[in-house]
Chain A
Amino acid sequence: MSVAAPATHAVDIEQLTISYRRRRRLLRVIDDVSLQIRPGEAYGLVGESGCGKTTVAMALMRYLPSNAVVEGGRIIFDGKDLLTLSDSALRRLRGNRMAMVYQDPGSALNPSMRIGNQIAEVFRYHRGMGKQEAEEASAGMLEKVQISDPAGVLQRYPHELSGGQQQRIMFAMALATDPALLVLDEPTTGLDATVEAEVLDLVEQLRAQFSSSILFISHNLGIVSRICERVGVLYAGRMIEEGPAREIFAQPRHPYTLGLLRCVPTFGMNKQTQRLDPIPGSLPALGTHPPGCNYADRCPIARDRCRAEPPPLLEVNAQRSSRCFYHEEVPSIPPSPAATAEPLPPPSDEVLLRIDDLIKTYHSGGHDVSAVAGISLEVRRGEVFGLVGESGSGKSSLAKVIVGLTNATNGSMTFENTPLSEAGHHRNVTLRRKLQMVFQNPDSALNPSYSVRHILQQALRLLAGLKSHSELETRTVELVRSVKLEPRHLDARPTGLSGGQKQRVSIGRAFAGTPALVLCDEPVSALDVSVQAAILNLLVDLQKTGVSYIFISHDLAVVRYIADWIGVMYLGWLVEVGPAEAVFNVPHHPYTESLLSAAATLESNGHHPRIRLKGTIPSPSNPPSGCRFHTRCPLYLGDICRLKEPPWHTAPAGNKYRCHIPPDELQAAELRLRETSTDQPA
């Protein structure tokens, strides 16, 4: 897609400045941001949460909350300033000339309306079509967004569709009027890697069919550089770098952009060889305006000048600019000295946890939901066992059974050679002490009514059996320091802490009684990338205590980084298990292969061979017969897969997988599959 500097811009945001009014103070969230999107161009807006990305999008759609104050600037669209447009003129533009796709499709669709009616509404309202005509147009739109069984989908309600399908519906509705501008606000965040890859494919294909300009908002610079021609990086409300997406991705010229790229674990990075490089410090508090560069406090090359005067947006070349006095130096900033890892001792051979044929079936609404269907695995002392799979594969159910938050339906577990039979509240204090959990959502994992001190002391009392006040106080301070927080944080309540700090407290609580095995259920997926890196480093550091982790994540690069051993789950089954290196380098099971290739595409700008999965994960209340993966398997053999449960095979590299196809044949078949998929144009 070549955009040879056309004369006009589709959207022209000029010196936009927005503040939120709070307690009679104005807190600036967008500070003098200018950006232009050319017709047909995709422009990416990147930054961590709190940087103002969504506020820009909201201003563009004029959906700003009532306490937002536009202090200056213009947004020119269709020759008009959106900020001064009358409400009725605005209504005509919205949905017609501009449309938006939100992060959470589940809450953006009306749950009580059939899909067909929701899409038809757009045609009837904005295009003035009759009922019949609008229905036909809706069906046509669904075909354009490549949904399978469009006629059936029209009759369904949103809750009957998967997340990926819902997001396709959102695209269908947004594109129904062929808008001049499409705003995508984190459209793939919260989706599984396979679905995310699918949605991004869709965006690329739709760009070929529709001429809309796109504003693509994401925290993931990798994704943005794949979809967009140009990208702008926001930091604390200021545009700090702008230019062609691939150039910025390949060679950032602002220390913040560089930091964002460096803190994400890339494929092949491993805790044994490399520490993650988080950005130190945190975003400046809203409403504080340092006299100089607002990144200076976190910047590795900041000097006196940076703290004294604010840098202007400096030109790097004709197409790029950076808000850094020393942008020439950015490419040569070395990784921070702490980035080399101290090697950890290898996991011992002692089996800490053994699970045999574990089954967990829930009863819900008269159905049996088979969440975990016969899983056997072993976790050794000091090992990190990574558990991956799409949502709905039963990872969290397995974790809950292991820690004892729920009972197993069948099967056995042994922990340190003693059977682990009862559910949590019957377990004795030793077991509870040794088996702890770190939760996904730091906001909900800590009781908002109590201070950090109370939360940690409660854990020390109950897990470590500490009673005396002085002993408790000493251990609390030690504990808070061990998770790299300061004693001053002890008096704060969870609402006064950042997401990363909350997660540290949560980790501290799990480590109050020197645990032997900690279950980490998506511990970093709710965090910003720079914070994620710091938390992963902390978890690796804490391994010096000899602890084992079961680390659940949908982010394969994160699992690859931290795990020694990997288990891949699909619909309640473990389909492949083995040493992390073997599973990632020579995956055998077709499901593992497709998961990895979806993740690899996200990372490498889409030029990797891809194995695409058909459809979505079936419902665990009615799992497929035979091999549970057969409905989506690209190597489906026929009746044998449909009728017979596959056996376990051991691959030469040591990974075991569950499939009817033996290792050598499987490798050959997957190779053929990858070759044919590269032939197809992406």
Chain B
Amino acid sequence: MTVESPDPALKAVPATVLSTVVSAQSSRRARMRELGRALLRSKTFMIGMVILLFWIFDAIFWPLFVPHDPLGLDPINTLKGPSSVHWFGTDDFGRDMFSRVLAGASTVLTVAPAATALGLVGGISLGLVTGYYRGLVDDILMRVVDALLAFPLIIIALLVLTVLGPSELNVIIVIGIVFTPLIARTVRSAVLVEREREYVAAAKLLGEPGPSIMVKEILPNVVGPITVEATIRLGYAIFAAATLSFLGLGLQQPSPDWGLTIALGRPLLQVAPWIVLFPALALATLVIGLNFVADGLKQAIEE
């Protein structure tokens, strides 16, 4: 019952009392309003949201306010430290780092959500089927998932990307594939709980077909854990995308992508640390912001 009541203090109220309290609120809309209020109260969530919204805004509108062209070469002003003209300094081609950091957000924020979405589609389908049907399907698919999980993400990514060739789309596909079993795990465990509930038996007795029971009856009741999983995965996806770029398997020059910039700036770390520092900081704030959002969301949903 505690799921419907986001008030953190309510967690420990005896179920009998709580059921009376809960019955006062009726619709799903009221529940969403409650959730919204709890999120607004959560400092963690709000801070995370501010950071996240800043980067999303930047990823879309950066062309409107970058002081310099992020790709514009300036052979005279190479490797300049931060100054009033170039706030974050310039790189070895004389490109303005401030502009490049602002512009770099857009690639990360395209690749990561797309990859997460792909992983969600795969993971939810797989989780629903294995969790609902159990039996042989479950056994086989879960062993495949176990096998996939045994490999570190990077190994699989390296393998696939060397075969497919590095590109933005391939990075999305690779991360999506790696996420599928992870998300499937979470979904499956939630489905395992729901499938034992009597409303599922009732739906079977009405003659609803299996796919309809999975999607229409069970799925709406496992949205909570899926949402939390998605936000956590998104954070990892950003990391993964940056890592792959860093390894040269993602976007290629002259893209202002953060991972790529960090990789290219690494040899110059002692001469011009700002080339690595600012994209790294940007990446860190984005991931931290996302984790804050995930934490806040998780707390609000669980309570």
- Contact residues of A with B, CB < 8 Å? 20-23, 27, 29, 49-50, 52, 54-55, 58, 65-68, 283, 285-286, 403-405, 424-425, 427, 429, 432, 435-437, 439-441, 443-451, 458-459, 462-463, 491-493, 495-499, 506, 509
Is B16 within 8 A of A50, CB to CB? yes
**CB < 8 Å neighbour of A67 from B13, B28, B199:** B13
Is B201 within 8 A of A405, CB to CB? yes
Residues in chain A near residue B19, CB distance under 8 A = 49-50, 499
Is A67 within 8 A of B205, CB to CB? no
Please, what's the 1-or-0 string for B1-41, where 1 marks a CB less than 8 Å from any CB in chain A?
10010010111111011011111111110010000000000
A491 to B208 Cα, complex, angstroms: 22
Is A439 within 8 A of B202, CB to CB? yes
Is A286 within 8 A of B217, CB to CB? no
Question: Looking across the interface, which residue of chain B has its beta carbon closest to that of A436?
Answer: B205
Residues in chain B near residue A509, CB distance under 8 A = 202, 206
Is A445 within 8 A of B9, CB to CB? no
Is A22 within 8 A of B27, CB to CB? no
Is A49 within 8 A of B27, CB to CB? no
**CB < 8 Å neighbour of B7 from A22, A440, A450:** A22
A436 to B220 Cα, complex, angstroms: 25
A405 to B21 Cα, complex, angstroms: 34
B254 within 8 A of A: no
A476 to B148 Cα, complex, angstroms: 49
B143 within 8 A of A: no
Residues in chain B near residue A403, CB distance under 8 A = 205
Is B202 within 8 A of A437, CB to CB? yes
Whole-angstrom distance between the Cβ of A530 and the nearest chain B Cβ: 14
Q: Which of B38-96 contact A (CB under 8 A)?
A: none
Whole-angstrom distance between the Cβ of B200 and the nearest chain A Cβ: 8
Is B12 within 8 A of A429, CB to CB? no
Residues in chain A near residue B198, CB distance under 8 A = 439-441, 444-445
Is B17 within 8 A of A286, CB to CB? yes
Whole-angstrom distance between the Cβ of B4 and the nearest chain A Cβ: 6
Whole-angstrom distance between the Cβ of A418 and the nearest chain B Cβ: 17
Question: Looking across the interface, which residue of chain B has its beta carbon closest to that of A51?
Answer: B16
Is B207 within 8 A of A425, CB to CB? yes
Q: Given A22-B21, A493-B27, verify A58-B14 contact (CB < 8 Å).
A: yes
For chain B, the bracket of interface size reads 35 or more
Is B199 within 8 A of A65, CB to CB? no
Q: Given A286-B21, A492-B27, A495-B26, verify A20-B199 contact (CB < 8 Å).
A: no
Please, what's the 1-or-0 string for B126-144, where 1 marks a CB less than 8 Å from any CB in chain A?
0000000000000000000
Q: Total number of A-B contacts with CB less than 8 angstroms? A: 129
**CB < 8 Å neighbour of B16 from A54, A427, A451:** A54
Is A496 within 8 A of B205, CB to CB? no
Q: Given A22-B21, A496-B27, verify A65-B221 contact (CB < 8 Å).
A: no
A427 to B203 Cα, complex, angstroms: 14
Question: Looking across the interface, which residue of chain B has its beta carbon closest to that of A404?
Answer: B205
**CB < 8 Å neighbour of A20 from B17, B209, B220:** B17
Is A22 within 8 A of B9, CB to CB? yes
Is A437 within 8 A of B23, CB to CB? no
Q: Which of B180-209 contact A (CB under 8 A)?
A: 197-199, 201-209
Is B23 within 8 A of A497, CB to CB? yes
Could you list 27 examples of A-B contacts with CB < 8 Å? A20-B10, A20-B13, A22-B7, A22-B10, A27-B21, A29-B17, A49-B16, A54-B14, A54-B17, A65-B12, A67-B13, A286-B20, A405-B204, A425-B207, A425-B210, A441-B198, A446-B202, A447-B199, A447-B221, A449-B221, A491-B27, A492-B26, A495-B25, A496-B25, A497-B23, A509-B202, A509-B206
A575 to B210 Cα, complex, angstroms: 37
Is B23 within 8 A of A498, CB to CB? yes
Whole-angstrom distance between the Cβ of A60 and the nearest chain B Cβ: 14
Nearest 7 pairs between A and B by C-beta?
A65-B12, A496-B26, A67-B9, A449-B220, A439-B198, A445-B198, A49-B16
A451 to B7 Cα, complex, angstroms: 23
Is B20 within 8 A of A50, CB to CB? yes
Q: Given A29-B17, A437-B201, verify A462-B12 contact (CB < 8 Å).
A: no
Q: Which of B220-243 contact A (CB under 8 A)?
A: 220-221
**CB < 8 Å neighbour of B28 from A58, A443, A449, A498:** A449
A436 to B204 Cα, complex, angstroms: 11
Question: Looking across the interface, which residue of chain A has its beta carbon closest to that of B208?
Answer: A462
Residues in chain A near residue B4, CB distance under 8 A = 495
Question: Looking across the interface, which residue of chain A has its beta carbon closest to that of B37?
Answer: A23
A55 to B21 Cα, complex, angstroms: 15
Question: Looking across the interface, which residue of chain B has its beta carbon closest to that of A403?
Answer: B205
Residues in chain A near residue B31, CB distance under 8 A = 495
Whole-angstrom distance between the Cβ of A431 and the nearest chain B Cβ: 9
Is A66 within 8 A of B17, CB to CB? no
A405 to B204 Cα, complex, angstroms: 7
Residues in chain B near residue A285, CB distance under 8 A = 20, 23-24
* A285, A447, A459, A497 — most chain B CB neighbours (10 Å): A447
A493 to B28 Cα, complex, angstroms: 7
Is A283 within 8 A of B20, CB to CB? yes
Question: Looking across the interface, which residue of chain A has its beta carbon closest to that of B29?
Answer: A493
Question: Looking across the interface, which residue of chain B has its beta carbon closest to that of A68?
Answer: B13
Q: Given A55-B14, A285-B20, verify A462-B25 contact (CB < 8 Å).
A: no
Q: List 20 additional A-B contacts (Cβ < 8 Å) besides A444-B198, A446-B199, A462-B207.
A: A50-B16, A50-B17, A52-B17, A54-B16, A55-B14, A67-B12, A286-B21, A404-B205, A425-B204, A425-B210, A432-B207, A437-B202, A437-B205, A439-B198, A445-B198, A447-B203, A449-B28, A462-B206, A496-B22, A496-B26
A446 to B201 Cα, complex, angstroms: 10
Is A286 within 8 A of B206, CB to CB? no
Whole-angstrom distance between the Cβ of A466 and the nearest chain B Cβ: 13
Whole-angstrom distance between the Cβ of A136 and the nearest chain B Cβ: 37
Whole-angstrom distance between the Cβ of A528 and the nearest chain B Cβ: 10
Residues in chain A near residue B209, CB distance under 8 A = 425
Question: Looking across the interface, which residue of chain A has its beta carbon closest to that of B209?
Answer: A425
A509 to B9 Cα, complex, angstroms: 36
Is B206 within 8 A of A496, CB to CB? no
Question: Looking across the interface, which residue of chain B has its beta carbon closest to that of A497?
Answer: B23
Question: Looking across the interface, which residue of chain B has its beta carbon closest to that of A405?
Answer: B201
Is A439 within 8 A of B201, CB to CB? yes
A441 to B197 Cα, complex, angstroms: 9
Question: Looking across the interface, which residue of chain A has its beta carbon closest to that of B206?
Answer: A462
A68 to B18 Cα, complex, angstroms: 12
Question: Looking across the interface, which residue of chain B has its beta carbon closest to that of A513?
Answer: B206
A138 to B228 Cα, complex, angstroms: 46
A448 to B210 Cα, complex, angstroms: 19
Is A65 within 8 A of B14, CB to CB? yes
